[in-house]
Chains A and B, each alone.
Chain A
Amino acid sequence: MTKVKFTYALKRFFPGLEELETSKTSIKEILDEIELLHPGMKGYIVDEQGVMRKHVNIYINETLIKDRIRLTDKVAPDNEVFIMQALSGG
């Protein structure tokens, strides 16, 4: 099972958010599963066209995903996915 971890910043909007495990095999599928568990959350990570928001990053292990538009990057059961915000703003 793939572990999915989240930036603490998302807990402000989804207080029940916890690390989860999934059998999904792509980033897009994982986000769809997250939306079922936490309705509305997908819209924080991608826009209405499904494109990842500019200041959001997703890592598979320690590597940034490559496809920010269609989210086709594949994940393996022993991978860890980390959804984080970019360190920007002020």
Chain B
Amino acid sequence: MPTSNHLLIGTRKGLVVYQLSNGNWTHKSTFFTGIPVSIAYSDKRTNTWWACLDHGHWGCKLHRSIDQGQHWEEIPAPKYPEGAEIKEGVPASLRLIWAFEQGGDDRPGKLWMGTEPGGLFESTDNGNTFNLNESFWNFPGREEQWFGGGRDYAAIHSVVVDPRDSDHIYVGISCAGVFETTDAGKTWEVRNNGLRADYLPNPQAEVGHDPHMLVACASNPDVLWQQNHCGIFKSTDGAKNWIDVTAENKLANFGFAMAVDAKNPDQAWVIPGVSDEIRVAVDGALVVCRTDDGGKSWQEYRSGLPQDNSFDIVYRHALDISDDYLVFGTTTGNLFLSNDKGENWKALSHYLPMVYSVHFCQ
């Protein structure tokens, strides 16, 4: 049995919750019907559920529930300070909440939030208030070297907190790359060595990379993986150096989502799509690729997945793992679950709205 029994699904039309009951995952409830939910997340320390809303009309909003959705409370969404500018003459305002991550276990109430247009926000009071991390916002070169990838402006989609050291954090930005702090956000370093940005005049530029999703192995956080716009990359030295582990046959190449096993740093998953101007399933067939040897080879798993006329791709937050269970949701509203580490899949739904995020929780 998995250690998770709820599944939070952020979709284009609301927050959908599935529950594990008598061995079956079934729909339990839907919240915020009609409103895009960019991220749905549970803080495992407090079992607080978070819903990051992206109203088309009314801006980004933030809601939390401490009773598994029975009641929701709107929290003031983070605000860019007066005078903050994306670049000269362009005022900064919150355009999307694209990453949400709890702080370390020794930092109760600490939350991190990544946003478009590139601001990292932090809370120390369980989200009652959020403040912009000014040091990162003022990182040299942000205005000149960061730019939008899939969004109008640069956006933070990944926040990785080192379980050994709560002051040690990585963030992933489309497009800028990977950045690291070892002092809780006071100072930052670029960590893009070894990445390749084929779309830049200089593919080895220090900044301007597009890591679509950044993850670390919980039991060995020096091993990080990223599904990048230009392939799949792995680091074994805490992001100081990245190596290209894209599949030789190029199937496991372009995509958005990435997962790594919590115990085995050599085992990771991606869900490929056709790069990059097309963005549909490869050859009309949905496939999950897994490596068991640190990226030397990638196996293809198709059992239970559509193999004809599939247009599904999987967004960066729409794949999650809990023990042997994996789940992903697609752009065409399919939701698939595996209980054997991705080798066989079962559809939980074919009728969801476009899926933005999936998240296992209690």
Using a CB–CB cutoff of 8 Å, the interface residues on chain A facing chain B are 9-10, 13, 40, 43-45, 47-49, 51, 53, 55-56, 85-86, 88-89
Q: Which of A44, A48, A86, A88 contacts B94 (CB 8 A)?
A: A48
Chain A at the B interface: SS class: loop
- The answer for the CA separation of A47 and B55 in the assembled complex, in Å, is 12
Of all A-B residue pairs in the complex, the 7 with the closest CB atoms, nearest first, are A48-B79, A47-B93, A44-B58, A55-B57, A85-B57, A89-B56, A49-B91
Determine whether the beta carbon of B57 is less than 8 Å from that of A40: no
- The answer for the CA separation of A9 and B55 in the assembled complex, in Å, is 12
Determine whether the beta carbon of A88 is less than 8 Å from that of B56: yes
Cβ contacts under 8 Å, A43 to chain B: 59, 76-77
Q: How far is the CB of A69 from chain B (nearest CB, A)?
A: 9
Determine whether the beta carbon of B91 is less than 8 Å from that of A53: no
Q: How far is the CB of B36 from chain A (nearest CB, A)?
A: 9
Q: Could you give 13 example pairs across A and B, Cβ below 8 Å?
A: A13-B58, A13-B74, A44-B58, A47-B59, A47-B93, A49-B91, A49-B92, A51-B91, A51-B93, A53-B57, A53-B58, A88-B56, A89-B57
Cβ contacts under 8 Å, A9 to chain B: 57
In the complex, B277 has a CB within 8 A of chain A: no
Contact flags B49-82 to A (C-beta < 8 A → 1, else 0): 0000001111100000000000000101101101
- The size class of the interface chain B forms with chain A is 10 to 19
Chain A residue at minimum C-beta to C-beta distance from B78: A48
Cβ contacts under 8 Å, B82 to chain A: 48-49
Determine whether the beta carbon of A56 is less than 8 Å from that of B79: no
Cβ contacts under 8 Å, B76 to chain A: 40, 43
- The answer for the CA separation of A88 and B80 in the assembled complex, in Å, is 26
Cβ contacts under 8 Å, B59 to chain A: 43-44, 47, 53
Cβ contacts under 8 Å, B94 to chain A: 47-48
Cβ contacts under 8 Å, B92 to chain A: 49
